[in-house]
Amino acid sequence: MLDIQLLRQDWETVQKALARRGGTIDWSRFETLEAERKALQAETQTLQAQRNRLSKAVGQCKAKGEDASELLREVAEVKAALERNETRLNALLAELDAFLAQLPNVPHPLVPDGASDADNLEVSRWGTPRSFDFPVRDHVEIAEGLGGLENEIAAALSGSRFALLRGDVARLHRALAQFMLDVHTREHGYEEVAPPFLVLPRTLFGTGQLPKFAEDLFQVPRSDAESLYLIPTAEVPVTNIVRDRILDEADLPLKFVAWTPCFRAEAGSHGRDVRGLIRQHQFEKVELVRIEHPDCSYDALEALTAHAEAILIKLGLPYRKVKLCAGDLGFSAAMTYDLEVWLPAQNTYREISSCSNTEAFQARRMQARFRPAGGGKPQPVHTLNGSGLAVGRTLVAVLENYQQADGSVVVPEALRPWMGGQEVLEPRARR
């Protein structure tokens, strides 16, 4: 959530910054609400001064033994007016909060201009895409040949956009997640977290998924209590660890990593990536979350992104790093790097990780703050998150980049200790 004081002091600058994202915002609504708030608060101050003056006069009148009934009637009228103003002011502030809750984060000045992913800025590339001397198969054909993907059974169980993995493919999927967790905890200093997969609405509000993106979530109604939601990413419960807390500055930074399933309705992606494991209702991610001092958060973004890149490098998967333009930023992000892995069957790079600094945007929604070491008023922390990596898409990349002409798949050398030393996944027909 944006700082309401920033809007009040210089909303035109905020308006120009948010215009870089595209879309439309009803700023006239903000102006109307603010104008009424100012008028109401000015009237309230006048009424309070009048009440104080009348109360003093009542006291003087009684001290003299004079009739104060008329003054008491005026006091009652002023009190009633103040109560009406308080009710209306509370309603106005609620409307302003609702308006603020719909506003996305302000892009960092170094975020490039642009309207879509076509305008994203490539920062670097690592690795050289492999040249094949045989027809390249996509991950679905490879996994089915390994006896490891059952699309028809998954559809019978749950409908479209679900997968059933079996045998070596299921084992490879699990090994990838465990490999990522171990690298991030042992080499990068993150603390492993096993969070709930169901959360309350206020938890999703804290990280910005509600109210704006309700249609992308799976809601679990309960007859006897508040509805729960399946998490769309571990970012939601893990970032909310610091909700409603005031940390000591010495506690920062906090670095968390979690491996969870993620559930997304994919409401706006009809017809996209319907084949295979790229875009599903249920998938798994290893998520990195950092809680940082505001002075350190952009150095932390570079570090977090490098930690996600390290997984791709260890697996030998070619990728590119891009800085998202303003029009392609996520709702909560002030700056984002996407990592895109090379997929031979698509002959292109596809997103496998988004690493974002939300600055104080989520912290204000969560009331997550820290107390400066030198004293003073608590300040919002900065929160960051990134996939380290999306497990299903990493599985896709390994299957396609390490495929062999005979239908087998070589296990990346770095991953073999998590596969019990297994070096090759053999086709079902050869077992």
Question: Distance between CA 242 and CA 291 in Å, rounded?
Answer: 8
Question: Distance between CA 20 and CA 107 in Å, rounded?
Answer: 8
Is 246 labelled a binding residue?
no
DSSP H/E element including 382:
strand 382-390
Is 155 labelled a binding residue?
no
Is 233 labelled a binding residue?
yes
Question: Distance between CA 38 and CA 53 in Å, rounded?
Answer: 23
List all residues 6 or more positions away from 76 whose beta carbon is below 8 Å from its beta carbon.
none
Per annotation, catalytic residue among 37, 351, 426, 428:
351
Is 160 labelled a binding residue?
no
Q: Is 279 a catalytic residue?
A: yes
Is 46 labelled a binding residue?
no
Is 266 labelled a binding residue?
yes
- Structure token digits, residue 46: 């006048």
List residues bridging with 382 in a β-sheet.
292
Is 223 labelled a binding residue?
no
Q: Is 340 a catalytic residue?
A: no
Is 265 labelled a binding residue?
yes
Question: Distance between CA 295 and CA 157 in Å, rounded?
Answer: 49
Contact 287, 260 (CB under 8 A): yes
Instruction: Return the sign of the alpha-carbon dihedral for residues 319, 190, 193, 384.
Output: negative
Is 143 labelled a binding residue?
no
Gyration radius from the chain CA atoms: 28
Per annotation, catalytic residue among 29, 125, 166, 279:
279
Per annotation, catalytic residue among 21, 171, 243, 264:
264
Is 249 labelled a binding residue?
no
Q: Is 272 a catalytic residue?
A: no
Per annotation, catalytic residue among 332, 354, 356, 408:
354
Per annotation, catalytic residue among 20, 356, 393, 400:
393
Question: Distance between CA 300 and CA 288 in Å, rounded?
Answer: 11
Between helix 391-401 and helix 167-186 the angle, nearest 10°, is 120
Annotated binding-site positions for ATP: 264-266, 351-354
Which residues are catalytically annotated?
A: 264, 279, 351, 354, 393
Annotated binding site for L-serine: 233-235, 264, 287, 385, 387
Q: Which residues are annotated as a binding site?
A: 233-235, 264-266, 287, 351-354, 385, 387
